[in-house]
Amino acid sequence: MVKITEALNIIYNTVTKKSTHIIPIEESIGSISAKSYKASFDLPRFDNSAMDGYAVKIADAGKEVTVKEITYAGDNPEEIFEQGEVVKIMTGAPTSNSCEAIVPIEDVEITDIGIILPSNIKKDAMIRWKGEDIKSGETFLFADEKITAYSLALLASQGITHIEIYRKPKVVIFSTGEELKAHYEKIEKHQLYNSNAPMFYARAKELGCDVSYLSSSGDTIEELKSAVSNAMDADLILTSGGVSVGDKDFTIQAFMELGMEILFSKVNIKPGKPTTFGKLGSCFVINLPGNPLAGMVNFEMFVKPTILKLSGTRAFYHPLITTKMRDDHKFRAGKYTVILGEWNGDSFAPISNQKPGMVSPIERADGMILTMPSVNSLSKDQIVKMIPIKVDLQNDKEEDFFIH
């Protein structure tokens, strides 16, 4: 049996990222960039106006001047002008060396012969400088980071059409248990719907994997082995059930007979002690307990970092949100304990009834906190660190967002 931190270190140290391929940037959102990208030119590419206005000389402040030309965005070349003149210029149009500042349209007074400029004009006002956003040669996107919609703005601004990313991890989901039926099948009184497989399928997908189901297997070694042997080209096989001490808990034995090397077996965690991590050829294997809540907790604790490590991201460690307890909470000490709870952006409230075999708390949990064996109570307002599970920060009521 290993500690939670030991188990995680084994994952961090053994799981490696996959090969790379090149795809159009529009298809890369959510993928992990395999390369750093450097700017090949300055952004802006040339000095230009930040406003619709007039390119002016400072010495003309407060004076009436004539309007020589109009320059629009997209125009080339830049307009040269003398003192006593201005050039009308639109946002994004190039400024020339003659331009000492831009005065916005709304700050001038139109006259019969031209315009009157305001009396106080600051040198360089409203000019956007070549390279002030991104300098040529500067790295603007880093390797091993997630590509977002906003990364696409940067990539496109440099004329980049394709990007090198890591291949998505390939995950196979596999459940064991004679009692299980797929959710679309008819069920008998003594049977149970397989809720773990759809849950893990969807969660692995959310984390960016190519996921497939292996049909669930009965509890004999032969059935288990033949099911698994169809999945060995995956990067990760995820099983649930049959890892405990029951008479038909053969999952680990079946994997070992196929050649799985155990990297850790059993974790000092409540719930989910039987969780096992191994390697079968080049494929990682995580055997989770069948109890849905225990499986879910151990998915979040161990499978998620495994998937993230496979995906190539450097951000594979658990994120932490510092929050406070909404109320007092007492529980049994003696174990490394995971407590699922609701989080409203302000405080953490443990879900009152959470047992390893339950399904309903899984859906309600926004995050989890982990306590050391010595801890048996948490008090209202005590600061705690929460590992988020699903944190949807959208608001269901309108609030004042200003800082006063």
- Determine if 291 is a binding residue for ligand AMP (CB under 6 A): yes
User: Is residue 196 near ligand AMP by the rule CB under 6 A?
Assistant: yes
Q: Does 292 bind ligand AMP (CB under 6 A)?
A: yes
Under the criterion CB under 6 A, does residue 361 sit at the interface with ligand AMP?
no
Asked if 306 touches ligand AMP (CB under 6 A), the answer is: no
Task: Give the residue with the Cβ less far from ligand AMP, 194 or 354.
Answer: 194
User: Looking at 71, 240, 287, 311, which residue binds ligand AMP (CB under 6 A)?
Assistant: 240
Q: What is the token pair recorded at 147?
A: 């590509």
253 belongs to the binding site for ligand AMP (CB under 6 A):
no
Q: From Mg ion, ligand AMP, none, which one binds at residue 28 (CB under 5 to 8 Å depending on kind)?
A: none
Placement of tokens 């004042």 in the chain: 400
Q: Does 98 bind ligand AMP (CB under 6 A)?
A: no
The two tokens of residue 226 are 């033949």
Residue with tokens 């050649």: 259
Identify the helix (H) or strand (E) that includes residue 166: strand 162-166
Q: Residue 233 corresponds to which tokens in the numbers above?
A: 């080209």
Can you tell me the distance from the alpha carbon of 148 to that of 171, in angstroms, rounded to the nearest whole number?
Answer: 23
Report if residue 178 touches ligand AMP, rule: CB under 6 A. no
Binding positions for Mg ion, 150-179, rule CB under 5 A: 177
The partner in contact with residue 8, picked from ligand AMP, Mg ion, none with C-beta cut-offs of 5 to 8 angstroms by kind, is: none
Residue nearest to ligand AMP (CB): 290
Which is closer to ligand AMP, CB of 48 or CB of 240?
240
Assigned token pair, 153: 């703005």
Long-range contacts formed by 57-61: CB under 8 A, 24+ apart: 57/81, 57/82, 57/83, 57/86, 57/98, 57/100, 58/100, 58/101, 58/121, 58/123, 59/83, 60/84, 60/86, 60/117, 60/121, 61/117, 61/118, 61/119, 61/120, 61/121
# residues near ligand AMP by CB under 6 A: 21
Burial class (CB in 10 A: 0-12, 13-18, 19+), 173: buried
Question: Of the ranges 95-103, 238-246, 259-267, 324-332, which one interacts with ligand AMP (CB under 6 A)?
Answer: 238-246
289 contributes a contact to Mg ion by CB under 5 A: no
Alpha-carbon 160 to chain mean position: 23
Q: What's the distance, Cα to Cα, between the start and end of the chain in Å?
A: 53
The interface partner of residue 192, options being ligand AMP, Mg ion, none and the CB cut-off 5 to 8 Å by kind, is ligand AMP
Is residue 290 within the footprint of ligand AMP (CB under 6 A)? yes
Task: Report residue 105 CA to chain centroid gap.
Answer: 43
The structure tokens listed for 173 are: 């989901």
Span near ligand AMP by CB under 6 A; candidates 37-45, 129-137, 174-182, 342-350: 174-182
The H or E element containing residue 223 is helix 221-228
Stretch that binds ligand AMP, among 92-100, 231-239, 254-262, 286-294 (CB under 6 A): 286-294
Query: Is there binding between residue 354 and ligand AMP (CB under 6 A)?
Result: no
Q: Does 357 bind ligand AMP (CB under 6 A)?
A: yes
Using rule CB under 5 A, residue 242 touches Mg ion: yes
Q: Which stretch binds ligand AMP (CB under 6 A): 149-157, 176-184, 254-262, 308-316?
A: 176-184
CA 181 to chain centre: 33
What is the Cα–Cα distance from 300 to 139, expressed in whole angstroms?
33
- Report helix, strand or coil for 32: strand
Q: Which partner, Mg ion, ligand AMP, none, binds residue 91 by CB below 5 to 8 Å per kind? A: none
Among 102, 197, 269, 362, binds ligand AMP (CB under 6 A): 197
**Binds ligand AMP by CB under 6 A, chosen from 244, 253, 265, 268:** 244
Contact residues for ligand AMP, defined by CB under 6 A: 175, 177, 179-180, 192, 194-197, 240-244, 246, 249, 289-292, 357
